[in-house]
């Protein structure tokens, strides 16, 4: 089954990539066009948050025959435009190629390092599958930062494990790029290592310096940097309708009556859950006594929970789930179950078919699935959820590009991954030791080894 899943991922990549050529409006490098224009505009003393100015610069950079104003916005911190200024020394397409190559190298190095940290000796096909997945390719095609964010995420975890908290704190520069997604990361890194007090506080000091430097750079080095907050709030109020390919659970709720309000409720619940995890790191004795290898998993779980609840995220952002999936899947897939892999494929096909027929039917099927899991959860092993999360993340993001469904189905995969991670955390809080952690042999590996050869 794993070979079949790998074949689908690779086959879809081969099918999808030629459709980005030749470049068209809002196709290849559409996000990079905005970033490049903002960097060039701010370098020239312009205001990247002025709609008229940024659209005019984008047309100079790469002309589009028609414009979609909600997509032609630079909604990042001013320091991001400043950091990208060196890219403007190259022509647009050359800079895109260099940026993409740097991201690809960073992602490969990061994933390989994390696989080795997690006890994998050979993981070539898994690494190829991750790089060929739609969520990864979408980020490269758009010119997004997610491959670099993934590298910074992994680097921070590895550096904390190796008692290099100052360097781990320096990696929190990634939070400046997408603070609405990554704000839980420094909080959970600090909380997870709080029992190792000197290391935690050195990390906190480094993170504080990064935040201070980013704030000062935003105000002092970018013209009109003070306009960021008002512009970001305006952008947040209008963008969901123009960008329906959202990967958080709120995106699934938007078409429902009162869906926007329900989505806000989910986001609040997600923030509360992250805060609860921070508190648990201080209050739970089992969590306080985790080995360093396991402490690194806690921030990944919190990040997954927030990615499932955040109102504004896209499938390409979900590459940051890969390190958690590597831990949950276990060395050579020992945390998977062959029967549940097959059932997960059938379930993904059923959900996709339901949403193709009717949005209401799809939502009803999901609701039935959630209720059934709550009712029978004691009979569903953790390996079942991990298997479903892996299959869903491989299959469901590939549905939206055909524009045949009303909403993206990616939130289902993100939610399954978050729940699988939360299960791992609850087991640890209860003092369980029969679950995998980075650098440890998988529990029950002999029983599940046939899955790795499937």
Residues 187-202: pLDDT tens digits?
999 999 999 999 999 9
Flag whether 203 is in a domain.
Answer: yes
Q: Which domain holds residue 306?
A: 2-6+105-452
Predicted pLDDT of residue 239: 61
- Residues in Cβ contact with 62 at an 8 Å cutoff, skipping those fewer than 6 apart: 23, 29, 33, 92
Rounded to whole angstroms, the Cα distance separating 349 from 444 reads 29
Say how many domains are in the chain. 1
**What pLDDT does 22 receive?**
87
d(CA 282, CA 195): 8
**For residue 414, what is the enclosing H or E element?**
helix 410-429
Q: How confident is the model at residue 445 (pLDDT cuts 50, 70, 90)?
A: very low
Token digits for 9?
A: 């991922």
Q: How confident is the model at residue 235 (pLDDT cuts 50, 70, 90)?
A: confident
Confidence check: pLDDT of 324 > 90: yes
Q: What is the tens place of the pLDDT at every residue in 398-421?
A: 999 888 898 999 999 999 999 999
Domain membership of residue 100 (yes or no) is no
pLDDT band at residue 238 using 50, 70 and 90 as cut-offs = low
Pull the structure tokens for residue 73.
């916005």
* pLDDT for 432: 60
Q: Using an 8 Å Cβ cutoff, are 151 and 41 in contact?
A: no
The whole-number pLDDT of residue 442 equals 39
Which pLDDT score is estimated for 375? 86
- Of residues 224 and 161, the one with the higher pLDDT is 161
Q: Give a yes or no: residue 311 inside a domain.
A: yes
Listed in sequence order, the DSSP H helices in 247-321 are: 249-253, 259-283, 285-288, 292-295, 297-309
- 28 in a structural domain: no
* Mean pLDDT (whole number) for 284-313: 94
Q: DSSP character for 334?
A: T
DSSP string for 283-295: H-HHHHT--HHHH
Distance CA 397, CA 381 (A): 25
**Domain membership flag for residue 75:** no
Task: Identify the burial level of 58 via C-beta atoms within 10 angstroms of its C-beta, where 0-12 means exposed, 13-18 middle and 19 or more buried.
Answer: buried
pLDDT at 362 over 60: yes
Reported as a pLDDT band with limits 50, 70 and 90, residue 447 is very low
Query: For residue 133, what pLDDT band results from cuts at 50, 70 and 90?
Result: very high
C-alpha to C-alpha distance for 190 and 61, rounded to whole angstroms: 42
Res. 444 pLDDT band, cuts 50 70 90: very low
More confident residue, 401 or 108: 108
Give the whole-angstrom CA distance, residue 151 versus residue 102: 11
Give me the torsion for CA of 342, 344, 348, 349, rounded to 10°: 20
Quick one: angle between helices 2-16 and 338-357, nearest 10? 40
183 pLDDT above the threshold of 80: yes
399 inside domain: yes
Mean pLDDT of 309-313: 93
The answer to whether residue 452 scores a pLDDT higher than 60 is no
Name the residue with higher pLDDT: 141 or 244: 141
Of 155-169, 224-238, 289-303, 358-372, minimum mean pLDDT range: 224-238
73 within a domain of the structure (yes/no): no
In this predicted structure, what is the pLDDT of residue 379?
81
Average pLDDT estimate for 440-448:
36
Q: How confident is the model at residue 275 (pLDDT cuts 50, 70, 90)?
A: very high
Mean residue pLDDT of the chain comes to 89
Q: Does residue 277 sit within a domain?
A: yes
């Amino acid at each position: 089954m794993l070979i079949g899943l790998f074949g689908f991922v690779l086959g879809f990549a081969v099918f999808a990539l030629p459709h980005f050529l030749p470049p068209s409006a809002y196709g290849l490098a559409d996000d990079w066009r905005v970033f490049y224009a903002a960097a060039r505009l701010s370098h020239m003393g312009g205001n990247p948050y002025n709609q008229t100015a940024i659209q005019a610069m984008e047309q100079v950079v790469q002309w589009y025959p028609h414009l979609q104003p909600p997509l032609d916005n630079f909604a990042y911190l001013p320091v991001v435009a400043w950091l990208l200024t060196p890219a403007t020394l190259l022509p647009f397409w050359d800079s895109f190629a260099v940026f993409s190559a740097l991201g690809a190298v960073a992602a490969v190095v990061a994933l390989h390092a994390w696989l080795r940290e997690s006890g994998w000796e050979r993981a070539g096909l898994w690494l190829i599958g991750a790089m060929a997945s739609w969520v990864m390719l979408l980020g490269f095609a758009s010119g997004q930062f997610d491959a670099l964010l993934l590298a910074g995420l992994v680097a921070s975890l590895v550096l904390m494990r190796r008692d290099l908290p100052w360097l781990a704190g320096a990696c929190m520069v990634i939070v400046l790029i997408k603070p609405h997604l990554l704000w839980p990361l420094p909080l959970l890194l600090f909380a997870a290592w709080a029992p190792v007090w000197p290391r935690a506080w050195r990390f906190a000091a480094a993170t504080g310096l990064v935040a201070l430097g980013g704030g000062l750079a935003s105000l002092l080095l970018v013209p009109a940097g003070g306009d960021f907050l008002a512009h970001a709030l305006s952008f947040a109020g209008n963008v969901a309708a123009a960008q329906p390919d959202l990967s958080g659970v709120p995106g699934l709720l938007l078409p429902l009556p009162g869906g926007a309000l329900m989505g806000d409720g989910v986001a609040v619940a997600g923030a509360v859950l992250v805060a609860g995890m921070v508190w648990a790191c201080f209050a739970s004795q089992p969590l306080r006594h985790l080995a360093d290898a396991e402490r690194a998993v806690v921030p990944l779980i919190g990040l997954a929970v927030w990615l499932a609840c955040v109102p504004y995220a896209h499938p390409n952002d979900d590459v940051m789930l890969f390190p958690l999936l590597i831990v949950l899947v276990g060395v050579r897939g020992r945390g998977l179950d062959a029967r549940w892999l097959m059932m997960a494929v059938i379930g993904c096909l059923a959900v996709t078919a339901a949403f193709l027929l009717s949005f209401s039917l799809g939502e009803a099927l999901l609701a039935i699935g959630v209720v059934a899991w709550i009712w029978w959860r004691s009979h569903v092993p953790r390996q079942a959820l991990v298997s479903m999360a892996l299959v869903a993340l491989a299959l469901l993001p590939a549905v939206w590009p055909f524009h045949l469904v009303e909403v993206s189905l990616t939130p289902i995969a993100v939610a399954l991954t978050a729940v699988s991670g939360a299960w791992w955390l609850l087991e640890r809080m209860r003092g369980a030791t029969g679950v995998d952690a980075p650098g440890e042999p998988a529990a029950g590996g002999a029983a599940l080894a046939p899955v790795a050869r499937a």
